[in-house]
Chains A and B, each alone.
Chain A
Amino acid sequence: MKMTAPEGLAVWLDRLAQEVNLIAPREIDGVLLYRPVRNSGEIVWEFTRPLLSIKEAFFPATERLLTIEKIGQQIKLTETLPKGEQVIFGVRPCDARGIKMLEALFTDTEPSDPYFTQRRENTTLIGLACRTMGATCFCTSLGGAPDDPGDMDVMLYEVENGFVIQVMTEKGQALLSRFSLETDDISENESEFRASYLCEQAERIVIPEMNAWAVKFDDPYWEQVSERCLSCRICAYVCPTCRCFDVRDEDLLSGNGHNQSERIRCWDSCAREAYRRIAGGHNPRQAKGQRLRNRFLCKFDYYPRQSALGTAACTGCGRCIDACPVNIDITEVMQHIVEVSQ
């Protein structure tokens, strides 16, 4: 394995930022987010995890799908596929795992989503292992780890004098070939290094298995725990795996006399009251308890049943726990299901 000094890495990232869209953790008005950086000086190096996941770079909050133009009697549809190369630096293993879960649905399930898929193809992931787990992190309980390189293209591990580099995929190798990085060899081999890389891990929690959830569909717990829920959308929007979206055609103001509109999609969340309201006005999830229950069933029952991955759609990143204004805690919900299942 090889390692690089921090200065060498900074120079390398500066070069990268000139040639591609380099996305890295940076502070925007005090909020840590994965956003484009112009140079390595803008990157934040010490953090637990940014507020939003890297999901934004593959499945943006709002995205144009196509334009619709009416020219006389004709209607012209123009698909607007995303273009441009992205490199995301400083990706945490939980975020990369989240992209894998989205991929299983967006790309690997027919019909494949060309927008997500195109962005995924255009993106290289450079991971940064965590030295410790955050107070609300529980990735290790879901088969992940704070130093798991499995879903990255290149993985970096911070050590005393710099960063150890592990190339994981051909795409990662191609990036390093294209943009050469000054490196030195380290004495350990891969397995020796991984074994010696000390990373403080939190105690594992029990995750209820897939079949444990639906049998508790009528548990009064759902109404109780949801009483303080605000029905905002924070949990869904910060989550690396939440992926619901709304689609609408909206007028475009254009001055050339053509009737123009665009088809856009944007983030949606099952937490909002009108999410499941259907034509005619019926809403099978009118009550907060029904909506909150759906959120958890979707993650731990529906997703594993429907996706080829077969795992729960949760990476244990803990963002929802931190961000919820009323402390609705996914680990508390799981603990309840475990308790009532015994």
Chain B
Amino acid sequence: MSYTYEIQTKARSLLESKQVDCVIGYEIGPRGRTRPAFIYQPEEVERLVWNQACTHNLTIYLKEQLDPQQSGRLKTKEQTPRHAAVVVKACDSRAVNVLLAENHFGREQLHVIGVVCDGIHEGAGEVGNQRSVRQFPAADPPQFQARCQRCIERVPVVFDTFIGERPSNQKSGMYENVLDDLDCLQAMTPTERTDFWLSQFDRCIRCYACRQACPMCSCPTCLYERDDSLWVGMGIGLNEKRTFHLGRAFHLAGRCIGCDECERVCPMDIPISLLNRRLIQEVETVFGYRAGMAQVPPPFVTVLSDR
């Protein structure tokens, strides 16, 4: 049985029995791009697919599905808490734990369809390789995304439905091309590191796609966009951008699960995930903590709360 079939079957049963109001999964659009899908009717479950272009972290949609009062919706909603199912990979599932620990919605509102992902391809979610200088045909065989090559979970850490089989060997051949970009960063002098990051932020257009694609960036009004206090200037200049990126990285320390979606969505190819992973490394070293492995608050809340 293919994963697609299993996901469709589960979605149909959840919707028919009214256990959930919505199943958040993936579909393929008319141009052949895999994209998020929101299924409300059992008759529509055939839209759902699973493939190796399912790159999006669908947990970003959970808050607006489960807590619609917080986010405006076009039509008025009933007061009863909504229920939703979401298809997650191992990385995405860790985001579920962080969101639950931060009380964005109740566990009982959510049905997690966890998939044992075989890895997502480079270029997933895109039409060709449009950001590059020239149109490249897809690599043959397709390369896996860097985060997949680094993945040590492979299996969702929280789920209600489990699709796939636990791999016997977690590291089966995926590690050959692991990027050592963190090592490169560490090898730089502070001046070199400053120059590197400033040259990356220079390209930034403050589109905020990185923030919007992140399940943990859930502040109702982002600190960097407050127009009452104006902590950071409005302009799309280097100082403002540096403040935004570095500040956001610190706000994510201990919360980021390394899904790399921030980096994928960036139209300017800025290595945003590298910055977040640097801080993930620090948190692991200092606190021995990895975000999202359990439904617990991050160490900044637990360790510092006694002081």
| Chain A interface residues toward B at CB < 8 A | 27-32, 44, 46-48, 51-52, 61-62, 134-136, 220, 222-224, 227-228, 230-234, 237-238, 246, 248, 250, 264, 266-267, 272, 274, 283, 286-290, 321-323, 325-327, 329, 332
Q: A27-B133, A327-B33 are in contact. Are A283 and B236 (CB under 8 A)?
A: no
Q: Among the listed stretches B3-11, B104-112, B120-128, B290-298, which one makes contact with chain A, having 4 or more residues with CB under 8 Å of it?
A: B120-128
Contacts of A30 in B (CB 8 A): 131-133, 269
Give the total of B residues in contact with A, Cβ under 8 Å.
51
Q: Identify the closest chain A residue to B29 (Cβ).
A: A327
Closest 4 CB pairs of A and B: A286-B72, A232-B209, A325-B265, A230-B212
Q: Which residue of A lies closest to B235 (CB)?
A: A62
Most A CB atoms within 10 A — which of B29, B207, B265?
B207
Interchain nearest-CB distance for B136 vs A (Å): 12
Beyond A136-B130, A264-B234, 16 additional contacts (C-beta under 8 Å) are A30-B131, A32-B132, A44-B133, A47-B134, A51-B130, A61-B236, A230-B212, A232-B207, A232-B208, A248-B233, A250-B230, A264-B235, A290-B74, A322-B131, A323-B130, A326-B125
Does B221 belong to the interface (CB within 8 Å)? yes
CA distance A232 to B212 in the complex (A): 6
- B residues near A29, Cβ cutoff 8 Å: 199-200, 203, 269
A270–B133 alpha-carbon span in the complex (Å):
29
When each residue 202-232 of chain B gets 1 if its CB lies under 8 Å from chain A and 0 otherwise, what string results? 0101111101110000000100010100100
Checking B31, B209, B227 against A329 with a beta-carbon cut-off of 8 angstroms, the contacting residue is B31
Chain B residues closer than 8 Å to A283, beta-carbon distance: 72
Instruction: Provide the bound-state CA to CA distance between A325 and B265, in Å.
Output: 5
Asked if B73 lies at the interface with its beta carbon under 8 angstroms from chain A, I say yes
The answer on a CB contact under 8 Å between B205 and A267 is yes
Contact at A47–B133, with CB atoms within 8 Å? yes
Contacts of A266 on B, CB cut-off 8 Å? 234-236
Contact of A230 among B60, B199, B234 (CB under 8 A): B60
Contacts of A61 in B (CB 8 A): 205-206, 236
Which residues in B have their C-beta under 8 angstroms from that of A227? 36, 38, 61
- Select one of A228, A230, A232, A327 contacting B31, CB under 8 A: A327
**Chain B residue contacts of A44, Cβ below 8 A:** 133
Contact partners of B134 in chain A: CB under 8 A: 46-47
> Can you list 11 residue pairs at the A/B interface with Cβ under 8 Å?
A29-B199, A31-B131, A47-B134, A61-B206, A228-B38, A248-B234, A264-B234, A322-B128, A326-B125, A327-B33, A327-B125
CB distance from B216 to the nearest CB of A (A): 14
Contact among A47, A220, A237, A326 with B56 in the assembled complex (CB-CB below 8 Å): A326
> B127 near A135 (CB under 8 angstroms)?
yes
Q: A134: which B residues are within 8 A, CB to CB? A: 130, 135
- Contact in complex: B207, A237 (CB < 8 Å): yes
Contacts of A237 in B (CB 8 A): 205, 207, 267
A48 touches B234 (CB 8 A): no
Closest Cβ–Cβ distance, residue B78 to chain A (whole Å): 16
- Alpha-carbon distance between A104 and B61 when the two chains are bound, in angstroms: 39
A-B contact count (CB 8 A): 147
Determine chain B's interface SS by DSSP, over half rule.
loop
Chain B residues with Cβ below 8 Å from A272 are 208, 225
Name the contact of B267 in the complex, choosing from A136, A230, A231, A234 (C-beta under 8 A).
A234
Given contacts A135-B128, A223-B74, contact A51 B268 (CB under 8 A): yes
Does A223 contact B73, Cβ atoms closer than 8 Å?
A: yes
Q: A61, A250, A264, A325 — which one has the most chain B CB atoms within 10 A of its CB?
A: A325
Contacting residues, chain B, for A47 (C-beta < 8 A) = 133-134
- The answer on a CB contact under 8 Å between A267 and B72 is no
A222 to chain B, nearest CB (A): 7
| Chain A residues positioned under 8 Å from B38 (CB to CB) | 224, 227-228
Instruction: For A228, list chain B residues within 8 Å (CB).
Output: 35-38, 61
> How far, in whole Å, are A110 and B226 apart by their CA atoms in the complex?
32
1/0 per residue, CB under 8 A from A, across B48-63: the answer is 0000000010001100
A48 touches B267 (CB 8 A): no
| Interface residue from B31, B73, B74, B221 paired with A274 (Cβ < 8 Å) | B221
**Interface status of B30 (Cβ within 8 A of chain A):** yes
Q: Name the residue of chain B whose CB is nearest to the CB of A247.
A: B234
- Most B-side CB within 10 Å, residue of A47, A134, A327, A329: A327
Shortest distance from the beta carbon of B265 to any chain A beta carbon, whole Å: 4
Contact A325 B234 (CB under 8 A): no
Instruction: Tell me, in angstroms, the Cα distance from A274 to B226 when the chains sit together.
Output: 10
Q: Which B-chain residue is minimally distant from A283 (CB atoms)?
A: B72
Instruction: Report which of A62, A136, A274 forms a contact with B227, defined as CB distance below 8 A.
Output: A274
> Which A residues are CB-close (under 8 A) to B128?
135, 322
**What residue of chain A has the Cβ atom nearest to residue B129's Cβ?**
A322
CB A318 to nearest CB in B, in angstroms, measures 9
| Structural contact, B125 and A325, CB atoms closer than 8 A | yes
Highest count of chain A CB atoms <10 Å: which of B33, B126, B130, B131:
B130
B236 touches A287 (CB 8 A): no
